Amino acid sequence: MDTQSDPAVAPAKGPSYASYLRLDDLLACQSPLSGTHDEMLFIVIHQASELWMKLCLHELTAARDAIATSRLEPAFKMMARVARVQQQLIGSWEILATITPADYSAMRGKLGTSSGFQSHQYRAMEFLMGNKNAAMIDVFADAPPTQATLTDALTQPSIYDEALRALARAGLSVPEGRLTRDFSKPYVASPQVEMCWRTVYAEPERHWDLYELAEKLVDLEYRFQLWRFGHLKTVERVIGFKRGTGGTAGVPYLARVIDQVFFPELLTVRAVL
């Protein structure tokens, strides 16, 4: 027998599976409060979602920076990966929907006023996608480091801001006010920007890279909206029209945020093509 290649007898080199992945730490992080059977699922879904969001932020930040430095191909690679991660996040609603309203009610009291509204990674993702709203940072008033990180994310250009700069570098007429603006403020749609995208879509052979960029952005927005819709419908079937623990009206609030779009001209341009 070739003992050299038998992992059972090969001398240990580098970290083990468990030490590399810090499994002792990771698997000690599930602490149900209610003693109900389903709370383990509730915790695991949220923790897994936060891990996937961590990866999305890692990829989207790098994609934004790649676009900023005219390296569109690596940005496409990262955006394509984010789209697949988003698919994974959307899939989690199917699992969560196996919690019945009564089972959720049995654990809900223990959640107090905690809510997904307090997910700083989710808010950072929204900011990176261009949905800037300074008021969303207020809920982190008791966590100054988180507040500082989010304020930084609010102030920096979004992936869409960088896409518009890429359009300008390619010679398209993006208004100056969309290129050098206060990035902490919400983006306001511009008919001239819509014209730029129209040029890209009307003659993709002249701008294959910008066409690809536009479509990758549309893919991200599409999946982000599917996630929001899946959340809305899951919340509807689990708590109906109860108010949210985070202090919002619940389902009516979630229905309203679906109206917020990230890349407005990429949607409106479709009506003029």
Q: Closest by alpha carbon to 27, among 15, 14, 18?
A: 18
111 binds, among ligand NFK, ligand HEM, none (CB under 5 to 8 A by kind): ligand NFK
Structure tokens at 166: 């890429």
Task: Check whether 231 is labelled as a binding-site residue.
Answer: yes
Task: Check whether 207 is labelled as a binding-site residue.
Answer: no
Closest CB to ligand HEM among residues 49, 86: 49
247 binds, among ligand NFK, ligand HEM, none (CB under 5 to 8 A by kind): ligand HEM
* Site string (3-42) toward ligand NFK, x via CB under 6 A: ----------------------------------------
Closest CB to ligand NFK among residues 200, 254: 254
CA angle (233, 86, 126) in 5-degree steps: 80
- Other CB atoms within 10 A of residue 262 CB: 21
Q: Closest by alpha carbon to 262, among 172, 167, 127?
A: 127
Task: Check whether 42 is labelled as a binding-site residue.
Answer: yes
Question: CA of 65: how far to CAs of 71, 74, 171, 204, 213, in Å?
Answer: 9, 10, 20, 24, 14
Dihedral (CA of 242, 87, 262, 185) sign: positive
* Site string (91-110) toward ligand NFK, x via CB under 6 A: -----------------x--
Task: Check whether 160 is labelled as a binding-site residue.
Answer: no
Q: Which residues bind ligand NFK (CB under 6 A)?
A: 46, 108, 111, 114-116, 239, 244-246
